Amino acid sequence: MGITYQDRIPNNVDLGSNRTLQRALEHWQPHFLGWWKDLGPEGFQEADVYLRTATSVDAKGWATYGAVKMPDYRWGIFLADATQDRTIGFGDDFGKPVWQQVPGEHRSTLRRLIVTQGDTEPASVEQQRHLGKTCPSLYDLRNLFQVNVEEGRHLWAMVYLLHAYFGRDGREEAEDLLARHSGDAERPRILGTFNEPIDDWLSFFMFTYFTDRDGKYQLKALAESAFDPLSRTCQFMLTEEAHHMFVGETGIGRVIRRTLEVMNDLKTEDPAALRKAGVIDLPTLQRYINFWFSSALDLFGADVSSNAATYFATGLKGRPDEARYEDHLCTDSVLEIERPDDAGKIVTESVPLRQAMNEVTRRAYIEDCAKGVIRWNRLIKKAGWDVELKLPSERFRRAIGVWAGFNATPEGQPIPAEEWSRRQDEFLPSGADRAYIKSLMVQVTEPGKVAGWIAPPDRGINNLPVAYEYVHLAA
Protein backbone atom coordinates (compact mmCIF):
# COMPACT_ATOMS: atom_id res chain seq x y z
CA MET A 1 0.00 0.00 0.00
CA GLY A 2 1.46 3.35 -1.05
CA ILE A 3 1.89 6.30 1.28
CA THR A 4 0.44 9.69 0.36
CA TYR A 5 3.06 12.40 0.85
CA GLN A 6 1.03 15.19 -0.72
CA ASP A 7 -1.07 15.60 2.41
CA ARG A 8 0.04 17.75 5.32
CA ILE A 9 0.25 14.53 7.34
CA PRO A 10 1.69 11.63 5.28
CA ASN A 11 -0.51 8.57 5.61
CA ASN A 12 -1.85 5.40 4.06
CA VAL A 13 -5.17 5.45 5.94
CA ASP A 14 -7.04 7.77 3.52
CA LEU A 15 -6.97 10.53 6.09
CA GLY A 16 -8.39 13.04 3.62
CA SER A 17 -11.74 11.27 3.59
CA ASN A 18 -12.28 11.99 7.31
CA ARG A 19 -12.11 15.76 7.63
CA THR A 20 -12.90 15.77 11.35
CA LEU A 21 -10.05 13.41 12.16
CA GLN A 22 -7.72 15.22 9.79
CA ARG A 23 -8.41 18.58 11.46
CA ALA A 24 -7.89 17.07 14.92
CA LEU A 25 -4.52 15.61 13.96
CA GLU A 26 -3.49 18.82 12.18
CA HIS A 27 -4.28 20.63 15.43
CA TRP A 28 -2.01 18.20 17.33
CA GLN A 29 0.80 18.44 14.77
CA PRO A 30 2.16 21.90 15.85
CA HIS A 31 2.23 20.69 19.47
CA PHE A 32 4.31 17.71 18.36
CA LEU A 33 6.72 19.91 16.39
CA GLY A 34 7.03 22.25 19.37
CA TRP A 35 7.84 19.29 21.58
CA TRP A 36 10.40 18.04 19.05
CA LYS A 37 12.18 21.39 18.88
CA ASP A 38 12.16 21.80 22.67
CA LEU A 39 12.99 18.23 23.75
CA GLY A 40 14.30 16.50 20.64
CA PRO A 41 18.02 16.32 19.69
CA GLU A 42 19.56 19.46 21.15
CA GLY A 43 21.76 21.54 18.88
CA PHE A 44 21.10 19.68 15.61
CA GLN A 45 17.75 20.95 14.35
CA GLU A 46 19.39 22.69 11.37
CA ALA A 47 21.73 19.83 10.44
CA ASP A 48 21.15 17.92 7.21
CA VAL A 49 20.87 14.26 8.18
CA TYR A 50 20.97 11.25 5.84
CA LEU A 51 17.74 9.57 6.93
CA ARG A 52 15.45 6.90 5.60
CA THR A 53 11.75 7.60 5.14
CA ALA A 54 8.93 5.15 4.52
CA THR A 55 7.37 5.27 1.04
CA SER A 56 5.25 2.14 1.29
CA VAL A 57 4.55 -0.57 3.84
CA ASP A 58 5.52 -3.58 1.75
CA ALA A 59 8.81 -5.39 2.21
CA LYS A 60 10.40 -4.08 -1.01
CA GLY A 61 9.78 -0.36 -0.98
CA TRP A 62 9.14 0.87 2.50
CA ALA A 63 12.26 3.07 2.81
CA THR A 64 14.08 5.71 0.76
CA TYR A 65 17.17 7.68 1.80
CA GLY A 66 18.09 11.33 1.56
CA ALA A 67 19.36 14.37 3.45
CA VAL A 68 16.74 16.20 5.49
CA LYS A 69 16.56 18.56 8.44
CA MET A 70 14.90 16.67 11.27
CA PRO A 71 12.05 19.17 11.89
CA ASP A 72 11.16 18.67 8.20
CA TYR A 73 11.07 14.88 8.46
CA ARG A 74 7.82 13.51 7.03
CA TRP A 75 6.31 11.93 10.13
CA GLY A 76 3.02 10.25 9.42
CA ILE A 77 0.52 7.46 9.93
CA PHE A 78 1.35 4.11 8.36
CA LEU A 79 -0.46 0.81 8.89
CA ALA A 80 0.54 -2.54 7.47
CA ASP A 81 -1.75 -3.90 4.76
CA ALA A 82 -4.93 -5.49 6.04
CA THR A 83 -5.21 -9.29 6.00
CA GLN A 84 -8.43 -10.30 4.31
CA ASP A 85 -10.88 -12.18 6.53
CA ARG A 86 -8.47 -12.05 9.47
CA THR A 87 -9.81 -13.75 12.60
CA ILE A 88 -8.96 -13.50 16.28
CA GLY A 89 -6.00 -15.78 16.94
CA PHE A 90 -6.36 -16.53 20.66
CA GLY A 91 -8.53 -16.28 23.75
CA ASP A 92 -12.22 -16.75 24.35
CA ASP A 93 -13.20 -15.35 20.93
CA PHE A 94 -10.69 -17.43 18.99
CA GLY A 95 -11.73 -17.78 15.33
CA LYS A 96 -14.20 -14.88 15.30
CA PRO A 97 -13.68 -11.87 12.99
CA VAL A 98 -11.26 -9.22 14.27
CA TRP A 99 -12.63 -5.82 15.32
CA GLN A 100 -12.42 -2.74 13.15
CA GLN A 101 -13.90 -0.60 15.93
CA VAL A 102 -13.31 -0.70 19.68
CA PRO A 103 -15.90 -2.78 21.57
CA GLY A 104 -17.38 -0.66 24.34
CA GLU A 105 -16.53 -3.15 27.07
CA HIS A 106 -12.82 -3.00 26.14
CA ARG A 107 -12.56 0.72 25.54
CA SER A 108 -10.72 1.81 28.70
CA THR A 109 -8.38 -1.20 28.74
CA LEU A 110 -7.37 -0.79 25.10
CA ARG A 111 -6.84 2.91 25.61
CA ARG A 112 -4.55 2.21 28.57
CA LEU A 113 -2.50 -0.27 26.53
CA ILE A 114 -2.11 2.22 23.67
CA VAL A 115 -1.22 5.10 25.98
CA THR A 116 1.40 3.05 27.83
CA GLN A 117 3.02 2.01 24.55
CA GLY A 118 2.76 5.54 23.16
CA ASP A 119 4.36 7.06 26.26
CA THR A 120 7.59 5.13 25.71
CA GLU A 121 8.18 6.61 22.25
CA PRO A 122 8.74 10.31 23.07
CA ALA A 123 10.35 9.29 26.36
CA SER A 124 13.35 7.71 24.65
CA VAL A 125 13.83 10.80 22.46
CA GLU A 126 13.88 12.94 25.61
CA GLN A 127 16.33 10.57 27.30
CA GLN A 128 18.72 10.77 24.35
CA ARG A 129 18.42 14.47 23.46
CA HIS A 130 21.95 15.47 24.57
CA LEU A 131 23.86 12.52 23.09
CA GLY A 132 24.69 14.26 19.83
CA LYS A 133 27.11 16.51 21.69
CA THR A 134 29.35 13.50 22.44
CA CYS A 135 28.86 11.33 19.34
CA PRO A 136 31.80 8.98 18.58
CA SER A 137 31.38 9.48 14.80
CA LEU A 138 29.06 10.96 12.17
CA TYR A 139 27.91 7.40 11.41
CA ASP A 140 26.77 7.00 15.01
CA LEU A 141 25.26 10.48 15.10
CA ARG A 142 23.16 9.64 12.06
CA ASN A 143 22.02 6.36 13.61
CA LEU A 144 21.00 8.18 16.79
CA PHE A 145 18.89 10.60 14.77
CA GLN A 146 17.33 7.77 12.73
CA VAL A 147 16.28 6.12 15.98
CA ASN A 148 14.92 9.44 17.26
CA VAL A 149 12.80 10.31 14.20
CA GLU A 150 11.37 6.78 14.12
CA GLU A 151 10.43 6.98 17.79
CA GLY A 152 8.69 10.22 16.88
CA ARG A 153 6.80 8.43 14.12
CA HIS A 154 5.83 5.64 16.52
CA LEU A 155 4.33 8.33 18.72
CA TRP A 156 2.28 9.44 15.71
CA ALA A 157 1.11 5.85 15.26
CA MET A 158 -0.34 5.68 18.77
CA VAL A 159 -1.76 9.22 18.60
CA TYR A 160 -3.62 8.32 15.41
CA LEU A 161 -5.30 5.40 17.17
CA LEU A 162 -6.25 7.59 20.14
CA HIS A 163 -7.74 10.29 17.90
CA ALA A 164 -9.43 7.94 15.46
CA TYR A 165 -11.05 5.49 17.88
CA PHE A 166 -11.33 7.00 21.37
CA GLY A 167 -13.05 10.35 20.90
CA ARG A 168 -12.50 13.15 23.39
CA ASP A 169 -10.75 10.83 25.88
CA GLY A 170 -8.29 9.84 23.17
CA ARG A 171 -7.58 13.45 22.19
CA GLU A 172 -6.85 14.33 25.82
CA GLU A 173 -4.56 11.33 26.18
CA ALA A 174 -2.70 12.42 23.03
CA GLU A 175 -2.09 15.83 24.57
CA ASP A 176 -0.82 14.19 27.76
CA LEU A 177 1.75 12.19 25.78
CA LEU A 178 3.48 15.52 25.14
CA ALA A 179 2.90 16.85 28.67
CA ARG A 180 4.77 14.08 30.53
CA HIS A 181 8.57 14.20 30.29
CA SER A 182 11.32 11.70 31.03
CA GLY A 183 12.69 12.21 34.53
CA ASP A 184 10.30 15.05 35.34
CA ALA A 185 9.67 15.21 39.08
CA GLU A 186 6.07 16.34 38.65
CA ARG A 187 4.99 14.47 35.49
CA PRO A 188 7.39 11.61 34.73
CA ARG A 189 6.93 9.00 32.05
CA ILE A 190 4.71 6.05 32.99
CA LEU A 191 7.37 3.30 33.07
CA GLY A 192 10.43 3.65 35.28
CA THR A 193 13.05 2.64 32.71
CA PHE A 194 12.01 5.59 30.55
CA ASN A 195 12.91 8.02 33.30
CA GLU A 196 16.51 6.77 33.53
CA PRO A 197 19.07 9.26 32.20
CA ILE A 198 20.95 8.22 29.06
CA ASP A 199 23.88 10.60 29.07
CA ASP A 200 26.61 8.44 27.56
CA TRP A 201 26.84 6.30 24.44
CA LEU A 202 27.45 3.02 26.23
CA SER A 203 24.08 3.50 27.94
CA PHE A 204 22.54 4.37 24.56
CA PHE A 205 23.83 1.16 22.99
CA MET A 206 22.57 -0.81 26.01
CA PHE A 207 19.19 0.91 25.78
CA THR A 208 18.77 0.19 22.09
CA TYR A 209 19.84 -3.43 22.57
CA PHE A 210 17.86 -4.29 25.71
CA THR A 211 15.06 -1.73 26.07
CA ASP A 212 14.17 -1.47 22.39
CA ARG A 213 14.15 -5.28 22.31
CA ASP A 214 11.52 -5.16 25.03
CA GLY A 215 9.66 -2.82 22.69
CA LYS A 216 9.93 -5.43 19.95
CA TYR A 217 8.20 -8.02 22.13
CA GLN A 218 5.53 -5.62 23.34
CA LEU A 219 4.78 -4.69 19.73
CA LYS A 220 4.72 -8.35 18.72
CA ALA A 221 2.16 -9.06 21.45
CA LEU A 222 0.02 -6.08 20.42
CA ALA A 223 0.35 -7.07 16.74
CA GLU A 224 -1.70 -10.17 17.64
CA SER A 225 -4.55 -8.00 18.97
CA ALA A 226 -8.13 -8.56 17.90
CA PHE A 227 -8.36 -4.78 17.42
CA ASP A 228 -7.17 -4.79 13.83
CA PRO A 229 -6.03 -1.14 13.50
CA LEU A 230 -3.74 -1.64 16.52
CA SER A 231 -2.43 -4.91 15.09
CA ARG A 232 -1.63 -3.36 11.71
CA THR A 233 -0.03 -0.30 13.31
CA CYS A 234 2.31 -2.46 15.39
CA GLN A 235 3.19 -4.70 12.46
CA PHE A 236 4.63 -1.73 10.58
CA MET A 237 6.34 -0.32 13.68
CA LEU A 238 8.24 -3.60 14.01
CA THR A 239 9.96 -3.03 10.64
CA GLU A 240 11.46 0.19 12.02
CA GLU A 241 12.25 -1.23 15.48
CA ALA A 242 14.71 -3.70 13.93
CA HIS A 243 17.14 -0.88 13.12
CA HIS A 244 17.17 0.30 16.74
CA MET A 245 18.27 -3.11 17.97
CA PHE A 246 20.88 -3.29 15.20
CA VAL A 247 22.35 -0.02 16.51
CA GLY A 248 22.56 -1.51 20.00
CA GLU A 249 24.04 -4.87 19.10
CA THR A 250 26.64 -3.54 16.67
CA GLY A 251 27.46 -0.62 18.97
CA ILE A 252 28.25 -2.91 21.90
CA GLY A 253 30.10 -5.24 19.55
CA ARG A 254 32.28 -2.35 18.33
CA VAL A 255 33.06 -1.34 21.93
CA ILE A 256 34.18 -4.91 22.62
CA ARG A 257 36.28 -5.09 19.43
CA ARG A 258 38.15 -1.91 20.32
CA THR A 259 38.75 -3.10 23.89
CA LEU A 260 40.07 -6.42 22.61
CA GLU A 261 42.48 -4.61 20.27
CA VAL A 262 43.96 -2.74 23.21
CA MET A 263 43.96 -5.85 25.44
CA ASN A 264 46.00 -7.65 22.81
CA ASP A 265 48.34 -4.69 22.28
CA LEU A 266 48.97 -4.33 26.03
CA LYS A 267 48.67 -8.07 26.70
CA THR A 268 46.48 -7.44 29.75
CA GLU A 269 42.86 -7.49 30.85
CA ASP A 270 43.56 -5.31 33.89
CA PRO A 271 40.77 -2.68 34.08
CA ALA A 272 43.10 0.03 35.38
CA ALA A 273 45.54 -0.44 32.50
CA LEU A 274 42.72 -0.49 29.95
CA ARG A 275 41.15 2.65 31.39
CA LYS A 276 44.50 4.36 31.24
CA ALA A 277 44.54 3.44 27.53
CA GLY A 278 41.11 5.00 27.06
CA VAL A 279 38.88 1.98 26.40
CA ILE A 280 36.04 0.29 28.27
CA ASP A 281 37.15 -2.76 30.25
CA LEU A 282 34.96 -5.85 30.06
CA PRO A 283 34.01 -5.95 33.79
CA THR A 284 32.56 -2.43 33.43
CA LEU A 285 30.70 -3.53 30.31
CA GLN A 286 29.27 -6.46 32.31
CA ARG A 287 27.99 -4.11 35.01
CA TYR A 288 26.20 -2.03 32.37
CA ILE A 289 24.64 -5.21 30.97
CA ASN A 290 23.49 -6.12 34.48
CA PHE A 291 21.86 -2.72 34.92
CA TRP A 292 20.02 -2.37 31.62
CA PHE A 293 18.93 -6.00 31.26
CA SER A 294 17.47 -6.17 34.76
CA SER A 295 15.75 -2.85 34.20
CA ALA A 296 14.15 -4.13 30.99
CA LEU A 297 12.87 -7.33 32.63
CA ASP A 298 10.48 -5.32 34.80
CA LEU A 299 8.88 -3.77 31.70
CA PHE A 300 7.03 -7.04 31.04
CA GLY A 301 5.05 -6.74 34.28
CA ALA A 302 4.38 -9.21 37.06
CA ASP A 303 5.16 -12.91 36.55
CA VAL A 304 1.64 -13.81 37.69
CA SER A 305 -0.90 -11.27 36.47
CA SER A 306 -4.67 -11.18 36.35
CA ASN A 307 -4.41 -8.28 33.88
CA ALA A 308 -2.35 -10.41 31.51
CA ALA A 309 -4.95 -13.17 31.80
CA THR A 310 -7.70 -10.69 30.94
CA TYR A 311 -5.81 -9.29 27.95
CA PHE A 312 -5.37 -12.79 26.57
CA ALA A 313 -8.90 -13.98 27.28
CA THR A 314 -10.48 -10.94 25.64
CA GLY A 315 -8.17 -10.89 22.60
CA LEU A 316 -6.56 -7.54 23.44
CA LYS A 317 -2.94 -8.72 23.63
CA GLY A 318 -1.54 -12.11 22.70
CA ARG A 319 1.77 -13.91 22.86
CA PRO A 320 4.45 -12.81 20.39
CA ASP A 321 4.20 -15.00 17.27
CA GLU A 322 0.99 -16.59 18.51
CA ALA A 323 0.72 -18.75 15.37
CA ARG A 324 3.65 -20.91 16.51
CA TYR A 325 1.66 -22.29 19.44
CA GLU A 326 -0.79 -25.18 19.19
CA ASP A 327 -3.06 -24.20 22.07
CA HIS A 328 -4.63 -20.77 21.48
CA LEU A 329 -7.18 -21.00 24.31
CA CYS A 330 -4.85 -21.83 27.22
CA THR A 331 -7.73 -22.60 29.57
CA ASP A 332 -6.24 -25.73 31.13
CA SER A 333 -2.48 -25.27 30.65
CA VAL A 334 -0.01 -24.21 33.33
CA LEU A 335 3.49 -22.75 33.44
CA GLU A 336 6.11 -23.65 36.03
CA ILE A 337 7.42 -20.51 37.71
CA GLU A 338 10.09 -20.13 40.37
CA ARG A 339 9.51 -17.80 43.30
CA PRO A 340 10.87 -17.23 46.81
CA ASP A 341 8.74 -18.52 49.67
CA ASP A 342 8.22 -16.70 52.97
CA ALA A 343 11.52 -18.03 54.29
CA GLY A 344 13.43 -16.87 51.21
CA LYS A 345 13.82 -20.39 49.86
CA ILE A 346 13.34 -20.77 46.08
CA VAL A 347 10.39 -22.97 45.18
CA THR A 348 8.54 -23.88 41.99
CA GLU A 349 4.81 -23.52 41.52
CA SER A 350 2.37 -24.21 38.69
CA VAL A 351 0.55 -21.10 37.50
CA PRO A 352 -2.45 -21.06 35.12
CA LEU A 353 -0.95 -20.20 31.74
CA ARG A 354 -3.23 -17.24 31.09
CA GLN A 355 -2.00 -15.60 34.28
CA ALA A 356 1.61 -16.26 33.23
CA MET A 357 1.50 -14.57 29.81
CA ASN A 358 3.90 -11.83 30.91
CA GLU A 359 6.38 -14.52 31.89
CA VAL A 360 5.93 -16.33 28.56
CA THR A 361 6.85 -13.13 26.73
CA ARG A 362 9.71 -12.36 29.13
CA ARG A 363 11.25 -15.80 28.54
CA ALA A 364 11.14 -15.30 24.77
CA TYR A 365 12.81 -11.92 25.27
CA ILE A 366 15.57 -13.40 27.45
CA GLU A 367 16.28 -16.06 24.81
CA ASP A 368 16.52 -13.36 22.16
CA CYS A 369 18.83 -11.19 24.28
CA ALA A 370 21.15 -14.14 24.81
CA LYS A 371 21.83 -14.43 21.06
CA GLY A 372 23.70 -11.13 20.98
CA VAL A 373 25.70 -12.06 24.06
CA ILE A 374 26.76 -15.27 22.33
CA ARG A 375 28.03 -13.25 19.36
CA TRP A 376 29.94 -10.84 21.63
CA ASN A 377 31.55 -13.77 23.43
CA ARG A 378 32.70 -15.22 20.13
CA LEU A 379 34.62 -11.99 19.51
CA ILE A 380 36.29 -12.33 22.91
CA LYS A 381 37.15 -16.01 22.43
CA LYS A 382 38.47 -15.41 18.91
CA ALA A 383 40.79 -12.73 20.33
CA GLY A 384 42.19 -15.34 22.70
CA TRP A 385 40.74 -14.25 26.04
CA ASP A 386 39.05 -16.45 28.61
CA VAL A 387 36.35 -13.95 29.55
CA GLU A 388 32.61 -14.47 29.16
CA LEU A 389 29.89 -11.84 29.29
CA LYS A 390 26.58 -13.06 30.75
CA LEU A 391 23.01 -11.99 31.19
CA PRO A 392 22.25 -11.70 34.89
CA SER A 393 19.65 -13.96 36.47
CA GLU A 394 16.04 -12.83 36.22
CA ARG A 395 16.08 -12.85 40.05
CA PHE A 396 18.61 -10.01 40.03
CA ARG A 397 17.58 -6.41 40.90
CA ARG A 398 13.88 -6.78 40.27
CA ALA A 399 11.26 -4.25 41.36
CA ILE A 400 8.17 -5.95 39.93
CA GLY A 401 6.80 -9.48 40.31
CA VAL A 402 7.69 -12.38 42.53
CA TRP A 403 11.36 -11.33 42.72
CA ALA A 404 10.65 -7.73 43.73
CA GLY A 405 12.88 -6.83 46.67
CA PHE A 406 14.69 -10.18 46.54
CA ASN A 407 18.41 -9.73 47.15
CA ALA A 408 20.47 -11.85 44.77
CA THR A 409 23.81 -11.81 42.99
CA PRO A 410 23.83 -11.52 39.19
CA GLU A 411 24.11 -15.34 39.19
CA GLY A 412 20.80 -15.48 41.09
CA GLN A 413 22.20 -16.61 44.44
CA PRO A 414 20.31 -15.20 47.44
CA ILE A 415 22.32 -12.88 49.69
CA PRO A 416 21.44 -10.84 52.79
CA ALA A 417 20.32 -7.24 52.29
CA GLU A 418 23.47 -5.98 53.98
CA GLU A 419 25.68 -7.89 51.55
CA TRP A 420 23.65 -6.64 48.59
CA SER A 421 24.11 -3.05 49.74
CA ARG A 422 27.84 -3.57 50.33
CA ARG A 423 28.45 -5.23 46.94
CA GLN A 424 26.30 -3.05 44.67
CA ASP A 425 29.34 -1.47 42.98
CA GLU A 426 30.53 -4.98 42.16
CA PHE A 427 27.26 -5.76 40.39
CA LEU A 428 26.17 -2.44 38.87
CA PRO A 429 27.89 0.64 37.41
CA SER A 430 29.38 2.67 40.24
CA GLY A 431 29.71 6.42 40.34
CA ALA A 432 33.34 5.98 39.37
CA ASP A 433 32.35 3.76 36.42
CA ARG A 434 29.87 6.32 35.14
CA ALA A 435 32.35 9.16 35.60
CA TYR A 436 34.97 7.24 33.62
CA ILE A 437 32.56 6.43 30.80
CA LYS A 438 31.47 10.08 30.64
CA SER A 439 35.14 11.14 30.46
CA LEU A 440 35.43 9.19 27.19
CA MET A 441 32.47 10.97 25.63
CA VAL A 442 34.15 13.51 23.35
CA GLN A 443 32.42 14.49 20.12
CA VAL A 444 34.01 13.31 16.85
CA THR A 445 32.44 14.80 13.71
CA GLU A 446 35.16 14.56 11.06
CA PRO A 447 33.91 12.20 8.33
CA GLY A 448 35.51 8.78 8.64
CA LYS A 449 36.97 9.41 12.09
CA VAL A 450 35.89 7.43 15.17
CA ALA A 451 36.44 8.00 18.89
CA GLY A 452 39.22 5.93 20.43
CA TRP A 453 36.98 3.89 22.73
CA ILE A 454 34.99 2.24 19.93
CA ALA A 455 35.93 0.43 16.72
CA PRO A 456 34.71 1.76 13.36
CA PRO A 457 31.66 0.09 11.82
CA ASP A 458 32.16 -2.75 9.35
CA ARG A 459 30.18 -0.97 6.64
CA GLY A 460 28.36 2.25 5.96
CA ILE A 461 24.66 2.94 5.51
CA ASN A 462 22.75 2.07 2.33
CA ASN A 463 25.96 0.93 0.59
CA LEU A 464 27.71 4.25 1.23
CA PRO A 465 31.26 4.31 2.63
CA VAL A 466 31.87 4.58 6.36
CA ALA A 467 33.58 7.94 5.71
CA TYR A 468 30.48 9.45 4.09
CA GLU A 469 29.28 12.73 5.62
CA TYR A 470 26.08 11.28 7.08
CA VAL A 471 25.34 14.46 9.01
CA HIS A 472 26.18 17.84 7.53
CA LEU A 473 26.41 20.17 10.47
CA ALA A 474 25.09 23.70 10.12
CA ALA A 475 27.80 26.34 10.05
pLDDT score at 60: 62
Angle at 297 between CA 307 and CA 348, to 5 degrees: 70
8 A C-beta contact, residue 171 and residue 177: no
| Residue partners of 79: CB distance under 8 A and separation at least 6 | 12, 13, 57, 229, 232, 233, 235, 236
8 A C-beta contact, residue 305 and residue 355: yes
pLDDT score at 5: 77
8 A C-beta contact, residue 356 and residue 308: yes
CA–CA separation, 158 and 119 (whole Å): 9
Selection from 114, 296, 300, 301 nearest residue 208 by Cα: 296
pTM above 0.85, yes or no: yes
Long-range contacts: 333-338, Cβ < 8 Å, 24+?
335/359, 335/360, 337/303, 337/304, 337/402, 338/395, 338/402
pLDDT 10s per residue in the chain (475 long)? 567 877 889 999 999 999 999 999 999 999 999 999 999 999 999 999 999 998 777 766 567 899 999 999 999 999 999 999 999 999 999 999 999 999 999 999 999 999 999 999 999 999 999 999 999 999 999 999 999 999 999 999 999 999 999 999 999 999 999 999 999 999 999 999 999 989 999 999 999 999 999 999 999 999 999 999 999 999 999 988 899 999 999 999 999 999 999 999 999 999 999 999 999 999 999 999 999 999 999 999 999 999 999 999 999 999 999 999 999 999 999 999 999 998 889 999 999 999 999 999 999 999 999 999 999 999 999 999 999 999 999 999 999 999 999 999 999 999 999 999 999 999 999 999 999 999 999 999 999 999 999 999 999 999 999 999 999 997 6
pLDDT score at 98: 98
pLDDT score at 2: 67
- Superfamily for the 15-472 domain: Ribonucleotide Reductase, subunit A (1.10.620.20)
What is the secondary structure of 119-165 as a DSSP string? HHHHHHHHHTTTGGGG-S-HHHHHHHHHHHHHHHHHHHHHHHHHHHH
pLDDT score at 74: 92
Q: Three-state SS for 298?
A: helix
pLDDT score at 3: 79
